[in-house]
Structure 1
């Protein structure tokens, strides 16, 4: 069988050795890391690596990235579990060592169950594990950000940066593009960015069936979700390389491409435990962060490194506020209750985490023609060999690319009941007044979006 030979050939062609000049592991950290950098970035995930890449373009600027997770070794198909870059293996599990393994508190309305919270813990963060869906929100989503007081964050302001980030390739055969209603608009895409965005070589029959079903329900079929009109059903492009049909994550886009830069260091398996504030500053909101403390584990002695410019905290939605709070930045009442000295009383830190619930449903096909028989019966080794040989077949298809973002009004006649809910009903009674005011402003913006037919309020996904 040729499977083994193709496996090795795949390695040689598509996973070239990575320069180690800037990768600092815990065993050599004391010798290799400087005592001072211009910029220190906490978190080597999607945002952190993007920032590190941009800052280090200037050779006169020194940048250190501190990442709690490893540089993953799951891109080597010759070892068990080395299938991370393959779109068709998304959702197959086995990536626990690249996640934090977080769970919620017991949820009252879920029979007191704990629910898992997925967050990547590796160079590239959650982008090495996600479903590859490359989709922007509706125009009103970003305009809503600006209405909250964030000048410069509207759709029109952000579109040039959306385009700058991507290297878009329309690699769909005309027959498939017509059947699946894929009609990219070149005016809203970029073609010279860092992140490859394209389509899989293979589409399951289910994709067209699901789109037809959405159309029968009255949803518009959108030709390009990334033009700002997301309220409808569509085929999403994916963050994948169009030629070798592999995942293109933040590590590929912003770390591997910068591996020859002597001014960029990344220290892996290092957890930042404290932001170091200027001890000479008074207790006020203008205190300067001078550096960080970090360690590979809770049994190791912490080391500190200083910065001349900025510490940029990009540790994700959970650990960014956590780090701020343990450093004395947050709501004073909560910090005092934990015996944390208050350096900056900032009530909003730790509030406003909003995540979406998800409900799964299964269904059965009665008509066998809905699926090509091979999609169900093909041997996994045959599918793998086809992928390695030709970059074709089911392994090129990510878990999800057929989705709908219906407006609430298009989905239910009971949408008005949501208008009468008070934001006070869903936030803790001890929430600071300034935070309560922020929730009320958000609610008004969300109400306007609910009344609109142009904003997707929830998401329906059909997996492969």
Structure 2
């Protein structure tokens, strides 16, 4: 393949602008404005301090934060381009995933759901998933993130992430106090930021049926939370949206990139694919090889060097794909593809998780007015809706919705949840996992299973999400699946889109959980308050009563993805199949980190947008701290960074003699204090504990 290395001083022909784009205001942008947002390849420098691979949600956050230091140069390489379609910032875009902003990928047939294939939701646009998602801006429960910490990731529990949830947000009081009072919408401003980039508020409209549904939840043992974002996103709660006071999408593109785009040290190159990360003989990541989008394999490539660190933010789909193409991944796969092995990491591309969903259908005989279908059946109401929208109010202000039930298994199935836990723990793990799993990965899954089954028995962690906004039908979203999928490069064409296998419902525990959710939904519809609406079941249908019958319904109605895929470059100890350390550094090499959704080890029971912002904000701090300390940004250790048996795992410890007893100390980068921290508070010499914020500190 022809190559062009910028360090030789050669330039390439500038890319052509394919068309004028539209700004959010609806006016056409000229070439000068577009060029302020991006560079062409002819303007690339030979080297940058940081190269961020991917200009999606996490990549733009990290690029913004790294470029705050005017002495550091930052290059972002993004496969997609800008979407300046005016409607893409309107609430109505929440229910539409435009093909122009997605990779064209389909999963392999899924035996667990009748061999169906499915659309793979992976964004190919500046701003990534935050550009096209449903704008539900909730967080997981505290237990979701504390579970990450139990897998050997000190500092990644809820108390360690809360400062970054806050840093990324700015809460705005809802614009219609009458709606707030009528629906009893509650919140706690202390768990949000006051000057963060992403604006958050509640839509100024609630369908009347929603209030009835909240009451019915209370009647079947599901209380309403005052503020779910305070680590209590289980049971029933109101959900804010990432919209500004004018009701428009507030996302990574307009809140992180646009304010920083004029910085001379920040460059964004769009319409380019990163083929590989290139390593020195010492296994240090030193450059990326990139190629123009749409050009054939064998076309010219460009190599750009990174002086300090390369940060992969290509998402759950392409971060593992790029690692595999670069020689970092499962040895057998790389060998089959003819790729020299730089670091044998079997976990790269494994551990794929999403929130699969089954659609359950009811109808109301005596629905209240107005309801979600009224604008289609009542011309007077439809005209009122349009009039309200001129004030940015009314039904058109709502994105995907504004209320959720995230139900613990102990509530859904109080008499049978323990049987499901027992069944899960009795399984031979390899039976339902991908055949490529190694002994280390099997051990890692066993650790995950211990934590998952504990959550199945918890009253403070949701297992199924039930979105509701007054309607009778909805998706039952499995928040904590036991099945695991894979992302693998194609050995005959490494640059083709990878093979995606969700393995949806392969583990029968997931079917049992979905059946529990369907039975609970029926119980909710039978609650006293719901009877004024006259709910009647359409699917599964009242004739389906046995587990065997409902299992068939699950297979026919389940889909693999709700666009929440994650976990394919998991943050776990290497001897448990992990890919990155708690510092987000890739095992076995140096100078390479991951800062996107792929580092999640266990999918949280929430829509993932707010969580990705927190991950990226924390990743940026970790990267900047590494640079400030002068340490080498990498790790070559093949040993776990922490134990996996304690409730709060800790990095490796040494022993320091005191006057009375040994005191465990933290090595370089280890957390050493902060609110909620239970581990050692003494740093190994010559490091000292540096407080980064009230919740987090590190040995530096």
| TM-score, L = length of structure 1 | 0.88
> Secondary structure in 1 aligned to 2:179?
helix
Q: 2:340: which partner in 1?
A: 341
Note the C-alpha offset of 1:331: 1.3
Distance 1:143 1:32 in 2: 45
Q: 1:411 to 1:266 in 2, by over 3 A?
A: same
Distance 2:441 2:24 in 1: 53
List aligned pairs for 1:150-299, cutoff 5 A. 150-171=153-174, 173-242=176-245, 244-278=246-280, 280-281=281-282, 287-296=283-292, 297-299=294-296
Structure 2, unmatched stretches of 5+, are 1-21, 472-700
Q: 2:441: which partner in 1?
A: 435
Q: 1:78: which partner in 2?
A: none
- Contact 1:39–1:312 at 8 Å: present in 2 too? yes
Q: 1:4: which partner in 2?
A: none
Rg comparison, structure with higher value: 2
Asked if residue 324 in structure 1 is aligned to residue 327 in structure 2, the reply is no
1:383-411 superposed Cα distances (whole Å, 9 cap, x missing partner): 78546632223221112222111001100
1:181-205 superposed Cα distances (whole Å, 9 cap, x missing partner): 4221122121110100111122222
Distance 1:249 1:449 in 2: 31
- Contact 1:20–1:259 at 8 Å: present in 2 too? no
- Contact 1:41–1:52 at 8 Å: present in 2 too? yes
Q: 1:295 to 1:15 in 2, by over 3 A?
A: closer
Deviates more, 1:206-215 or 1:143-152: 206-215
Asked if residue 367 in structure 1 is aligned to residue 373 in structure 2, the reply is no
Deviates more, 1:162-171 or 1:386-395: 386-395
1:310-341 superposed Cα distances (whole Å, 9 cap, x missing partner): 11001111111110001100111121122211
- Contact 1:410–1:453 at 8 Å: present in 2 too? yes
List aligned pairs for 1:351-362, cutoff 5 A. 351-362=350-361
1:2-54 superposed Cα distances (whole Å, 9 cap, x missing partner): xxxxxx999379999994454336xx32x222121111101111110000010
- Contact 2:24–2:84 at 8 Å: present in 1 too? no
Q: 1:79: which partner in 2?
A: none
List aligned pairs for 1:42-121, cutoff 5 A. 42-75=53-86, 83-92=87-96, 95-121=98-124
1:138-192 superposed Cα distances (whole Å, 9 cap, x missing partner): 1111111111111111111111111111001121544433443422112212111
- Contact 2:60–2:252 at 8 Å: present in 1 too? yes
Distance 1:353 1:23 in 2: 34
1:426-447 superposed Cα distances (whole Å, 9 cap, x missing partner): 2124411111111111111111
| TM-score, L = length of structure 2 | 0.59
Q: 1:80: which partner in 2?
A: none
Q: 1:397: which partner in 2?
A: 398
- Contact 1:295–1:301 at 8 Å: present in 2 too? yes
Tell me how many residue pairs correspond in the alignment. 439
Q: 1:3: which partner in 2?
A: none
> Secondary structure in 2 aligned to 1:220?
coil
Distance 2:308 2:272 in 1: 21
Note the C-alpha offset of 1:90: 2.3
- Contact 2:23–2:84 at 8 Å: present in 1 too? no
- Contact 1:272–1:293 at 8 Å: present in 2 too? yes
Q: 1:302 to 1:209 in 2, by over 3 A?
A: farther
CA RMSD, 1 decimal: 2.6
Q: 1:401 to 1:60 in 2, by over 3 A?
A: same
Distance 1:115 1:433 in 2: 30
> Secondary structure in 2 aligned to 1:400?
coil
Deviates more, 1:306-315 or 1:411-420: 411-420
> Secondary structure in 1 aligned to 2:199?
strand
Determine which of 37, 48, 62 is the counterpart of 1:37. 48
Distance 1:168 1:355 in 2: 28
1:220-247 superposed Cα distances (whole Å, 9 cap, x missing partner): 11121101111111110010002x1101
Q: 1:414 to 1:36 in 2, by over 3 A?
A: same
Q: 1:11: which partner in 2?
A: 25
